[in-house]
A and B are shown apart, each in its own frame.
Chain A
Amino acid sequence: MTSLPEFLKELFESWPLLGILPVWFYSIVAIFGLLFLFLFPFAGVAVYVERKIAGDIQARIGPNVVGPYGILQWIADALKLLLKEDIIPTNADKKLFILSPMLIFISGACAYAVIPFADNVILANLNIGIFYLLAITSMVTLGLILGGWASNNKWSLLGGLRAAAQVVSYEIPVALSILTVVLVTGTLDMAQIVKMQGPFYWNIFHNPFLFISACIYYIAALAEANRTPFDIPEADSELVSGYNTEYSGMRFAIFFLIEYAECFIICAVATTLFLGGWHLPFFDLSSLTLGLRIPLQIMVFMTKSILLLLTMMWIRWTLPRYRVDQLMKLCWEVFVPFSFACLIGTAFWMVLFKGKGIPELILGLFVS
């Protein structure tokens, strides 16, 4: 079980020039590769896809001018945002106004370090993987609340405060449902969690409580990323645009980029924890050769994640927005008790069935 930089180092060991380069060089290559070849283009394409889906759902056409089917629209948008004047309001707190997008970008990008795209394709193979991810993404709140306050605008401040209250509350059901998974796998290591789920022992089917936990995770994570129907921090009909009202140009683009990056993290974590990561049912990918295995595993992982991401967009353009009090009520009176019940239920399941999940038990009936 190695991380991506070590894996790259091993891969190029016998090459003439690349073999002598140290591991930290490969680390830097891997980090920049992930950022520039995956994160930025992915966020751009996700914006395009979201607009197209919005168009389809609302019986509109969506972007259709730049390139065939408007597919180059996101590049045009990115260029436009890069070239726009960077405005900082006169009465804004300049230092904090600049700091806020930085904090959000750092925490959003750092979370990608522990996403297991395939066997060995994980930037940092930490022992505490999923816990690290929870910790580092909790910094986003800080960025939102600072951005809201530094803008010196009442819509921004209200948006920032709403974001803080919402994210702090919804962190609890998210953490509890992740804890339920950890109870089953017995490890916090993301790569290990995927390994343990085998070709079809996916955690979501392990027991009925984990199925509920998976649903709670997905919904609560939607709220944590401030996505509709829980987008009250940026509710456009009430708060103009919430915490990012005063931001323009590249700084606004960072808020936008990290929103989509975070959405992908949620889907990737859901895939890793509940949907078996890069495992394909009834087909053991690990028996293939290296050149075939890694791309196939990445494709399986991305397919699962992107299906979840598309569901997110579908939800966004279908459901109306929650009210603030309804949102808090949903969290504290529905999600928190249910996720506690799932945690205790799973604990009992682990004792009663000696840690075996439903697929394993059914298989046991036929084999023995």
Chain B
Amino acid sequence: MTSYDSLFYVFAAVTIIPAIVTVFHPNILYAALSLFGSFFGVAGIYVLLGADFIAATQVLIYVGGILVLILFAVMLSKNIYGMTFQDEKKKKILPTLFGILLLGFLIKLITTVHWNTTLSEEGPLPTTAALGNLLLTEYLLPFELASVLLLAALIGAIILARSK
């Protein structure tokens, strides 16, 4: 096993174990907090793939933004300790169906994409310029669509907040 492989398994474990904790922990605050490990593990895997910019974005957006907002919302809710949100009567069919669909899609993705599995000696090459070029040429339409979607969400949030 090369050092690349062992690093990958470390990051994979750091991603998956907290993800399992998130799903099964009875305390909603701990469940939210263990996402922290998951997000970091994913960032580590991005670094292994040579995508330094994406890794930093992962930390900035998910740890610094989304996780803080989730914790913010959790702390403002009542009964953090007494919550038994996993014991509610469970709906089984639809989630299972979606789960299988998602799993199939991910397996397809994993087997079709060609992954970089060697650690370069000089560290990651600069990726930001290439990313910017691709976003503004080949992927311009998805990029603009995402911007419009975010703008719509922003305006929607303002309308909801002002509707009083």
Contact = CB atoms under 8 A, between A and B. Distances in A.
A139 B59 contact: yes
Contacts of B57: 131, 135
A347 to B, nearest CB: 14
B14 interface: no
Interface in B14-36: 29, 33, 36
A311 interface: no
Contacts of B142: none
A306 to B, nearest CB: 28
Interface stretch (B60-68, B97-105, B108-116): B60-68
Contacts of B76: 161
Interface in B120-143: 124-128
B128 A164 contact: no
B75 A135 contact: no
Contact of B69 (A160, A168, A188): A168
Interface in B48-95: 52-53, 56-57, 59-60, 63-65, 67-69, 71-72, 75-76
A139 B63 contact: yes
Interface residues of B, number: 24
Contacts of B36: 142
Contact of B59 (A135, A160, A164): A135
Contacts of B124: 127
A135 B56 contact: yes
Interface residue SS majority, chain B:
helix
A164 B53 contact: no
Interface residue SS majority, chain A:
helix
Contacts of A157: 75
A299 interface: no
Interface residues of A, number: 25
A138 B64 contact: yes
A96 B33 CA distance: 10
Given A127-B124, A161-B75, A141 B60 contact: no
Given A128-B53, A165-B72, A134 B60 contact: yes
Contacts of B69: 168
Given A127-B126, A127-B128, A168-B65, A149 B29 contact: yes
Contact of B60 (A138, A142, A161): A138
A136 B43 CA distance: 12
A1 to B, nearest CB: 12
Interface in A156-182: 157, 160-161, 164-165, 167-168, 171
B55 to A, nearest CB: 8
Interface string A109-131: 00000000000000000111001
Contacts of B126: 127
Nearest to B80: A149
Interface of A: 96, 126-128, 131-132, 134-136, 138-139, 141-142, 145-146, 149, 157, 160-161, 164-165, 167-168, 171, 188
8 contacts: A126-B52, A127-B52, A128-B53, A135-B57, A145-B72, A146-B33, A149-B29, A164-B71
Please name the 10 residue pairs, one residue from A and one from B, whose CB atoms are nearest each other, closest first: A138-B64, A135-B60, A135-B59, A135-B56, A127-B126, A131-B56, A132-B56, A141-B68, A128-B52, A164-B72
Interface of B: 29, 33, 36, 52-53, 56-57, 59-60, 63-65, 67-69, 71-72, 75-76, 124-128
Given A136-B59, A145-B75, 10 more contacts: A127-B128, A128-B52, A138-B59, A139-B64, A141-B64, A142-B67, A142-B71, A161-B75, A164-B71, A168-B68
